[in-house]
Chain A
Amino acid sequence: AQTVTQSQPEMSVQEAETVTLSCTYDTSESDYYLFWYKQPPSRQMILVIRQEAYKQQNATENRFSVNFQKAAKSFSLKISDSQLGDAAMYFCAYKAPRGAQKLVFGQGTRLTINP
């Protein structure tokens, strides 16, 4: 079964600085999808960024970028120029290429932005 592990329960960063959140996963598949979701106190999960495993190029969305290391099964999220609105729980998630297409989530990392 696929598993996703986030080893940092909490992280903090100064406003305008850069922070990296870690995620590792376990799968026997060669083609799959990885996601980072943000969950603010309102509880609504918001997609931040996605990565297809067949793509070698790391995904980037404005201030958010990933470091995808397929061989190491690592998928970290880098947030540049951190803003107060970035404070939230961040979840790493895995989706298999076939089957029921459910998302398997990690335990989450709580990110605090210090003004």
Chain B
Amino acid sequence: EAGVAQSPRYKIIEKRQSVAFWCNPISGHATLYWYQQILGQGPKLLIQFQNNGVVDDSQLPKDRFSAERLKGVDSTLKIQPAKLEDSAVYLCASRLAGVYEQYFGPGTRLTVT
């Protein structure tokens, strides 16, 4: 079974530029999560999707961050414009309905200069 796929693995941009991350969850997993992990901290949930609907985006900075999940499968997370404090690893995770374990992807390391 293929795991959660994310791309790119690394991205370096200048502040005020825009960037997008892509996530492909495990096949059949209806729930998808995006987490932000700042260096030295634990991951923090940004947004949760159930199929293609948003369940929780209470900690998503909506003035600059946006996310969508097309057809309830792949998801993209966008930052526009980026700030220095957005430098972090962005983790995508997915979960099968009725099961509490979340499966994580390898993450995208974003550096904003």
**Hey, which bits of chain A sit against chain B, CB under 8 A?**
4, 33, 42-47, 50, 91, 93, 95, 100-103, 105-108
Contact = CB atoms under 8 A, between A and B. Distances in A.
A47 B4 CA distance: 14
B61 interface: no
A102 B56 CA distance: 9
Contact of A102 (B33, B40, B106): B33
B107 A43 contact: yes
If over half of B's interface residues share one DSSP class (helix, strand or loop), that class is named, otherwise mixed; here it is: strand
Nearest to A47: B101
B21 interface: no
B100 A101 contact: yes
A103 B56 contact: no
B100 A33 contact: yes
Interface residues of B, number: 23
B107 to A, nearest CB: 4
B24 interface: no
Interface in B4-39: 31, 33
Interface of B: 31, 33, 40-45, 48, 55-56, 89, 91, 93, 95, 100-102, 104-107, 109
B43 A45 contact: yes
Given A105-B44, A107-B40, A107-B41, A44 B106 contact: yes
Contacts of A47: 101-102
Nearest to B57: A100
Contacts of A33: 100
Given A42-B106, A43-B106, A43-B109, A100 B42 contact: no
B107 A44 contact: yes
Give the 6 A-B CB pairs with smallest separation, nearest first: A105-B42, A100-B56, A45-B104, A102-B45, A43-B107, A44-B106
Contacts of A46: 104
